[in-house]
Amino acid sequence: MPFAAELASQLERNDAIELDLAAVTDADVSFLQLVCAARRQAEHDGKTLRLAHPVHAELTALLERAGFLTDIPSADQTFWFHGDLPR
C-alpha cells in the first residue's frame, strides 16, 4: 500500500500514530507536505501524530531546502526534532 494511503488508513483507525522515518532516504518536498497535512488532520480530529525519532540529517537537509526551517514555530521544532534544532 502506498505511504499516503497507509498513513490515511492508520489515522482513520487509530487515535495516536507514531511514524518512524529513520529508513526514509529518497524523499522530496511532497513527502514533507504529506506528513504535515497528516499531522494537521490528526490535530483537527483530536488525534496525535508524532515521530518516533528526531529526523535524521538527510531529512533535516530537505526541510532546510524546502524552507520548513525558516522561522520554525516551536510546535514544528518539537515535532520534527523533539526539541532543539540540530546544529
Pairwise CA distance, residues 7 & 44, whole Å: 15
Quote the cell numbers at residue 2.
Answer: 502506498
> What's the pLDDT score for residue 86?
80
Structural domains of the chain in order of their starting residue, each with its CATH number: 3-79 (3.30.750.24)
80 in Cβ contact with 55 (< 8 Å): yes
Q: Which residues of the chain have pLDDT under 50?
A: none
> What's the pLDDT score for residue 84?
83
pTM listed for this prediction = 0.92
